[in-house]
């Protein structure tokens, strides 16, 4: 078991809250889910009963910031033979006023 100081608590939760939960819950198990963006959580209570919850998994930062598919498809055939300046111009023309994550028009990096 992790040391008490290493356990994460919810905002406003006290040590007494954590102790109270530990008196109710015997163990928690993460179970596979058919959808990769979800996880099932099995809870076994000290009374012997069980509960099961399904929760969404947090999105990995690199997945959350992924380039739009349309931009990727535009870049794939052009990328190897096209200069960066030309790629920027073509992406800006394809989606005026948008630049991926930052929502600014694409500009040439210096």
Total domains in the chain come to: 2
pLDDT tens figures, 43-78 = 999 999 999 999 988 877 766 677 777 778 878 888
Q: Are 62 and 83 in contact (CB under 8 A)?
A: no
Q: Give the residue with greater pLDDT, 44 vs 92.
A: 44
13 and 38 both lie in a single domain: yes
Tell if the pTM clears 0.75, that is, is over it.
no
pLDDT recorded at residue 29: 94
Mean pLDDT of the chain: 77
Q: Are residues 35 and 67 in the same domain?
A: no
- Cα radius of gyration rounded to whole Å, the chain: 24
Boundaries of domain holding 91: 63-102
How far apart (Å, rounded) are the C-alpha atoms in residues 97 and 106?
8
pLDDT at 1 over 50: no
Same-domain pairing of 97 and 81: yes
Does residue 80 register a pLDDT over 70?
A: yes
Phi, psi (degrees; rounded to nearest 5) at 16: -65, -40
Choose between 88 and 25: higher pLDDT: 25
């Amino acid at each position: 078991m992790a040391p008490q100081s290493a356990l994460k608590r919810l905002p406003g939760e006290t040590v007494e809250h954590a102790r109270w939960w530990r008196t109710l819950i015997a163990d928690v198990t993460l179970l596979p889910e058919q959808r990769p963006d979800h996880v099932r959580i099995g809870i076994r209570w000290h009374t012997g009963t069980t509960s099961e919850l399904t929760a969404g998994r947090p999105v990995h930062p690199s997945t959350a910031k992924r380039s739009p598919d349309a931009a990727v498809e535009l870049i794939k055939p052009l990328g190897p033979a096209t200069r960066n300046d030309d790629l920027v111009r073509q992406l800006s023309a394809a989606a005026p006023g948008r630049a991926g994550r930052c929502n600014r028009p694409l500009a040439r990096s210096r």
